[in-house]
Amino acid sequence: MRTTQRRRSAPARGDLWRGWSAPSVRSAFTAAFAVVVVLVGLRLSVRDDSHAVSWLALPPLAASAFLPWRWVAGVGAASMALAFGYLWLLHDFSMDGVAVHGVDFLVVAVAVVIAAAVAVVRERDDDRLRRLAQLASVVQQAILRPIGERLGPFDIAARYVSARSGAEIGGDLYEALDTEYGVRIVIGDVRGKGLDAVRLSSTVLGSFRHVAFERADQRCMIADLDHAVARNGGDEDFVTAILLQERGGTLEILNCGHPPPMLVRDGVATYLEPESMAPPLGLGPSAQELTVRLQPGDRIFLYTDGLAEARKDGEFFPIRERAWSLIGHGNTGDGLASLETALRRWVGGPLTDDIALLLLDYRPEAD
């Protein structure tokens, strides 16, 4: 409850700046004021002073794109003051002068009002987007519950990398549980995107959290999960998934159409692939079990196809070649963070798909 209260109160402390830090606001305000000064200098350097004041409508309009409305009003007030001072310097109080420059002064005033209104609307939209992002984060945490740093004989880290900025919710899934049958882990990827994928992901995770404590045989778990997908998904829906079970230093792997896990041992990364791949959940899989005897210090890396299919100029990200340098040693959480950073640098732009990552470090001596 305390954690929830802290998370909810954090945005309230930043309401004054609407998501801006004070140095950022000062920098933006300084830039807008510099625009005012430059415009005035340019106009003063031109002999033709007709409609020079109307140029001062530009700074508040430009500021409305990135500053809070109060600061936009401040930029507008500076523009109005400079406009009045400029007219005073001209000393053109004839009927024609008053008519021409008066209209220009009115243009600046109208621009200030419009800029402030635009900033208010933009801030409301920003607040709405922030709240939606917070809601998506809450839903994501409800579906993908946090995994502790230690589970059975494993140091473990999980990471969800969203392809869309501010939206951390999708069809990728993972879970790790310590049961009487050993540590059981699932990672999967729902076909498709959007709310339907999220609902099916939630169904698979809910079923796994139940049957992981009820079924002694992983093959029975596969059958239960397959039935859950078939009942709750559409005719063309399926879920690629891997189930792992560790008992007494032996890792048992069932792969249902998912990218193979990777074993990192003594500086070498190898894929743990069965002789034949089973269909995904929802398509009646009959998975062949792969057994691996673990050694202390072994790392098991699990991921979804968003990582396997990430590419730059048609070239796939070299997961295997860089596995040891990125995730083969050190803290597991830091390793996944380094992997994400390297991936984003490699792609050089937005990701095309969400990615779920799990890194297991086998350290039975810590028990």
Residue of 164 and 291 predicted with greater confidence = 291
Residue 305: which of 141, 163, 199 has the closest Cα? 163
What is the share, in percent, of the chain residues with pLDDT greater than 90? 27
pLDDT score of 27: 58
Identify the band that residue 271 occupies on the pLDDT scale cut at 50, 70 and 90.
Answer: very high
User: What pLDDT is stored for residue 10 in this prediction?
Assistant: 38
Identify the helix (H) or strand (E) that includes residue 210: helix 194-211
What's the pLDDT at 207?
Answer: 92
Tokens coding 34:
């510099």
**In the prediction, which pLDDT does 30 show?**
60
> Which segment of 17-26, 194-203, 219-228, 324-333 scores lowest on mean pLDDT?
17-26
pLDDT (0 to 100) of residue 258 = 93
pLDDT band at 161 (very low <50, low <70, confident <90, very high): confident
CATH topology of domain 144-366: Phosphatase 2c; domain 1 (3.60.40)
358, 173 contact by CB (below 8 A)? no
CA distance 56 to 178: 67
Q: Which residue has the higher pLDDT, 176 or 21?
A: 176
**pLDDT level of residue 3 (50, 70, 90 thresholds):** very low
Q: How far apart are CA 288 and CA 295, in angstroms?
A: 23
Between 168 and 89, the more confident residue is 89
| Helix, coil or strand: residue 348 | coil
Over residues 203-209, the mean pLDDT reads 91
Q: Please state, in angstroms and rounded to a whole number, the distance separating the CA atoms of residues 143 and 198.
A: 9
End-to-end alpha-carbon separation of the chain, Å?
A: 30
**Is 8 a residue whose pLDDT tops 60?**
no
Whether residue 7 is predicted with pLDDT greater than 50 in this model: the reply is no
Domain boundaries, the chain: 2-139, 144-366
Confirm if 198 and 143 have CB atoms less than 8 A apart: yes
pLDDT tens-place string over residues 62-105? 788 778 888 888 888 888 887 777 667 665 555 555 556 677 77
Query: How much is the average pLDDT of 326-339?
Result: 90
Q: What is the mean pLDDT of residues 174-198?
A: 87
Q: Give me the pLDDT at residue 66, please.
A: 79
Over the stretch 27-68, which tens digit does the pLDDT of each residue have? 555 665 666 566 556 655 655 555 566 777 778 887 887 788
Q: How confident is the model at residue 19 (pLDDT cuts 50, 70, 90)?
A: very low
Sheet holding 250-256, edge to edge: 172-179, 182-190, 239-247, 250-256, 290-293
pLDDT at 261: 94
Q: What is the mean pLDDT of residues 334-359?
A: 88
Confidence category of residue 298, pLDDT binned at 50, 70, 90: very high
Closest CA to 60 of 17, 115, 120: 115
The string of DSSP letters for 289-330 reads PEEEE--TT-EEEEE-HHHHT-EETTEEP-HHHHHHHHHSSS
Confidence band of 17 (pLDDT split at 50, 70, 90): very low
